[in-house]
Structure 1
Amino acid sequence: MSSYWKLHKFPILMVLISISFYGSFAYDLERTDFIKLITLSLGLFFLCYKIIQFEKWNFKFILVAGILFRLVFFMILPNLSQDFYRFIWDGELVAHGFNPYIFTPNELITQGNLVIANAQELHLGMGELSAKHFSNYPPLNQFLFAVASMLGGKSILGSIIAMRVIIISADLGILYFGIKLLKHLNKSSYLIFWYFLNPLVIIELTGNLHFEGVMLFFFLVSIYFIAKKKWQWGSIFYAFAILTKLVPLLFLPLFLKYFGLKRSMIFYSLIGAVIISFILPFFTIDFIAHYSATLGLWFSNFEFNASNYNIIKSIGKQLDVPAYEMIKIFGKIIPFIIVILVLIFSFLRNNKNISSLITSMLWVLSCYYFLATTVHPWYIIFLVILAIYTEFRFPLVWSLTVLLSYWAYTNAQFQENLLILSIEYILVYGFLIYELINLNNKNLLFCKN
């Protein structure tokens, strides 16, 4: 034991300091306290970097550290997001056999015989914005909400703990299959630690209960099976990823060159069959109308942490175009631009091997987020996973700088500070340009194989 301490005392101390920082984050941080949030985040990212630097070949050490960091949040309510209230609300509905896509919480809360436990607390907690809109979470995600609700009984904290068990389990699955895929691609297995120990991942998934990690587990298993020529199994898990979060839909055209036309059609058909089987229990005419209307809001009504859109909005302001008109115009154009970009990467890039395919996915999703009007911090986690399998590391930089967007929560109006957003995106774009200039350099930052 003493010899182990002598060999690993500095990494052990770093883990203990990290645990104290996560503890402060979980138990003693108001999201309005921006200075403390950023200070803790900077400290945690630095410690993450040093732990990987010292122990990147010590799998057991990293595994234990990553689990301990997540367990810090196990018994506490999220403090940076209120989305979990809606997760539990939808889960309660599904667990009791009700369709969560038919009525808004505002419509249901007026009913005297509402089956949802803690209905008033959940309705108040989710906030006005969520309460007045229909659910936008895909069917498999709804099923997971229901499982958490049933396991949690009638306790909000119980449901939260159940969701954390699901999310942590997914992260362990990502660690396992992430290493297997890295080995298959002849890449250093320690690269997956940039996901497993990444503070953004731990804070936003285990801490704030976002289900991106569950979607990424299904996605990574799918890519692994595809890489191992077991694409039929890959199609099933790819469908599960879409049924948890819709983002992987963006990448479907990219498989045309990888599989060829005939096999692609079978691949798409299998995915479609699985998706339809999950949608059928919820299917009504209202489901189509409500779900499509809710998705449309993300393009034409909401804005948060945007980059290029803020530039365009500033130009529109100079031309006396009202902000509400600008976002509606921009929201109508964005889907067409994204479709064109996806087609460009589908037909003009060589996507005939897994590495090239994942690089195309990284660029498609990055372009989408660069153009989007809403980029929440947890969205960047998908880019982090994709980056691990490419030569690009700008998403790792973004996984730190995106936390600057939480400045908006320092005021009741959620007013963003364009100077702070500029710092976030200047660092991201600057590092991206640096990587593009040094594209032929195999020893890119964080990637010395």
Structure 2
Amino acid sequence: MDFIKRYKIPLLFSIIAIVFYISFGYHLERNDFTKLILRYGALFIIAYLFIEKFKLNFWFLASLGIVFRLIFIPGIPNLSQDFYRFLWDGRLLIQGVSPYLFTPDSSAILNNSVEQSQQLINGMGALNASHFSNYPPINQLFFTIAALFAGKSILGSAIVLRVLIIFADVGILYFGSKILKKFNLPFRNIFWYFLNPFIIIELTGNLHFEGVMLFFYVWALYLLFNGKWFRAAVLIGVSVSVKLLPLLFLPVFLKYFSTPKLNKSSQVAKTCEDSTINFRKLFKFYFIVGLTVIVTFLPFVSSEFINNFTSTIGLWFQNFEFNGSVYYIIRWIGFQVVGWNIIETVGKVLPIIVLLFVLGLAFFRKNKTPKQLITAMLFAVSFYFLLSTTVHPWYIATPLLLSVFTRYKFPIIWSFVVMLSYSAYGKNGFDEKLWLVALEYTVVIIVAFWEISTSKYLFLKPRHNGIKNS
């Protein structure tokens, strides 16, 4: 009774949140945008109250995050079709067939050998069924586990994947809390990931594997910050083999592997601000990351695999477009100048601009402390998505998690407004509302620029230490 009296208000809001999550998972259609955004807005406000206002302890918040995830266990994702492709790939692999060599609609004989093949193809949609798989090998391993334990049930397979994703989020909570403790930052920061309805709905609910990728990555960062760079490199390689995105961060490790210079007169090591890059250790780090990635891909490597995999990845840059920002402006200019969509050309140029920006962060920014390193990663991935032709809501999980270890909060705002992108799925088919896309990015960019301007410099940080030097 004392517990109920003490926590009566948080418990009341917990019950309200549970009702909204049940509604979200079982009584909502993707094309009903009004209901979606209102329920999501209510859940986001409740999460804010839990994290920032109620002053709840770690275990209470952790328990809430787990309970909210468990609500989705027996449900089929209702906001995304991607999991049907996950099940297809896993069931193909369990038969010893590479999903990189066959498209779901390419062979009637092959389809007949896959359990519930027509349901899976109908579920994933014609566009997805016409392309080769672009999911890296470790990701495919999880799909195979689902096929192994529930290869004849779509719901059973979804439950297996969901349990794996929940375990990954619990791992992020564990290692993220340890990193926050090392940074002397409040533990509640990690709950902007773990208790965020965006994460609960998009990862646990809709079965996206960004959380699994981030689990291996945040585990790697924890080991790296404790001097265990070899094991960290292996885990970063594993993370890349879940989702390729961590490849973007590799250049910013350049200055982290530095050796303090010695004062010749006193033979005393100077601070990390006056140091030289330890190229030997840096090379070993990159080598282990690369070797790990190669080893995971080896079972699938062939000329046909390389061609299919790279061409499918290329589609995301030169063919697909969704919830873009800068790209949509460039596309509009292209229509005014040449009269057609110039995505094929722009899709080749924008990645080069992103690469130059990341190299700029690597060479000109002081990324020698853990906080500086994570902040550089946050800038890199945010800039990448700003220039991307396709930004699905669940992509924002990466900048969101990185932000909890920094002073920057714009990814938290982004995790709210990105749900406006669901307005594109109307009852009359796909129709992207560009004014809502503009609203989303205007809000995010204004907040980001305000936060960056208050920190004085983007590339060159002040020489003092402490929380503000992040």
- What TM-score, normalized to structure 1? 0.95
Q: Return the letter of the residue paired with 1:4.
A: F
Q: Can you give the 5+ residue segments of structure 1 that lack an aligned partner in the other structure?
A: 441-446
Partner of 1:81: 80
Q: 2:312 aligns with which of 267, 273, 294?
A: 294
Query: Is 2:301 the partner of 1:283?
Result: yes
**SS of aligned partner of 1:244:** coil
What is the total number of aligned residue pairs between the two structures?
438
Q: 2:387 aligns with which of 371, 377, 384?
A: 371
**SS of aligned partner of 1:209:** coil
Does the CA contact (< 8 Å) of 1:85 and 1:122 recur in 2? Answer: yes
Partner of 1:389: 405
Q: 1:100-157: per-residue Cα shift (whole Å, max 9, x none)?
A: 101111113x116743111111011110111000000000000110001111131010
Q: Return the letter of the residue paired with 1:314.
A: W
Does the CA contact (< 8 Å) of 2:111 and 2:118 recur in 1? Answer: no
**SS of aligned partner of 1:107:** coil
Q: 1:36-55: per-residue Cα shift (whole Å, max 9, x none)?
A: 00000110000000011244
Q: 2:321 aligns with which of 303, 326, 338?
A: 303
* 1:95 Cα deviation after fit: 1.4
Q: 1:269-321: per-residue Cα shift (whole Å, max 9, x none)?
A: 11122111111111111110000000110100000000111111122222243
CA distance in 1, matches of 2:370, 2:96: 41
Q: Return the letter of the residue paired with 1:298.
A: W
Partner of 1:180: 178
Q: 1:316 aligns with which of 316, 321, 334?
A: 334
Does the CA contact (< 8 Å) of 2:137 and 2:296 recur in 1? Answer: yes
Does the CA contact (< 8 Å) of 2:111 and 2:117 recur in 1? Answer: no
Query: Is 2:247 the partner of 1:229?
Result: no
Name whichever of 309-318 and 99-108 sits farther off: 309-318
Partner of 2:281: 263
Q: 1:424 aligns with which of 422, 432, 440?
A: 440
Does the CA contact (< 8 Å) of 2:91 and 2:151 recur in 1? Answer: no
Partner of 1:103: 102
Instruction: Report % sequence identity.
Output: 48
Partner of 2:430: 414
* 1:412 Cα deviation after fit: 4.4
CA distance in 1, matches of 2:93, 2:387: 34
CA distance in 2, matches of 1:277, 1:114: 32
Partner of 2:29: 30
Greater share of helix residues, 1 or 2?
1
CA distance in 2, matches of 1:312, 1:272: 34
Q: 1:179-230: per-residue Cα shift (whole Å, max 9, x none)?
A: 0111111111111010000011000000000000000000000000000000
Does the CA contact (< 8 Å) of 1:55 and 1:61 recur in 2? Answer: no
Bigger CA radius of gyration: 2
Partner of 1:361: 377
Q: Can you give the 5+ residue segments of structure 2 that lack an aligned partner in the other structure?
A: 258-277, 457-467
* 1:437 Cα deviation after fit: 3.2
Q: Return the letter of the residue paired with 1:37.
A: L
Partner of 2:150: 152
**SS of aligned partner of 2:30:** coil
Partner of 1:53: 52
> CA, structure 1 residues 56+266, in 2 after alignment: closer, same or farther (shift >3 Å)?
farther
CA distance in 1, matches of 2:349, 2:439: 27
Query: Is 2:288 the partner of 1:274?
Result: no
**SS of aligned partner of 2:106:** helix
Partner of 2:211: 213
Partner of 2:451: 435
Q: 1:65-106: per-residue Cα shift (whole Å, max 9, x none)?
A: 111111111101000000000000000011121111011111
* 1:434 Cα deviation after fit: 2.1
**SS of aligned partner of 1:257:** coil
Does the CA contact (< 8 Å) of 1:231 and 1:267 recur in 2? Answer: yes
Does the CA contact (< 8 Å) of 1:404 and 1:420 recur in 2? Answer: yes
* 1:364 Cα deviation after fit: 0.6
**SS of aligned partner of 2:430:** coil
Q: Return the letter of the residue paired with 1:200.
A: F
Does the CA contact (< 8 Å) of 1:56 and 1:190 recur in 2? Answer: no
* 1:382 Cα deviation after fit: 0.4
Q: Return the letter of the residue paired with 1:378.
A: W
Q: Return the letter of the residue paired with 1:211.
A: F
**SS of aligned partner of 1:280:** helix
Q: 2:200 aligns with which of 192, 199, 202?
A: 202
CA distance in 2, matches of 1:29, 1:111: 36
Does the CA contact (< 8 Å) of 1:11 and 1:54 recur in 2? Answer: no
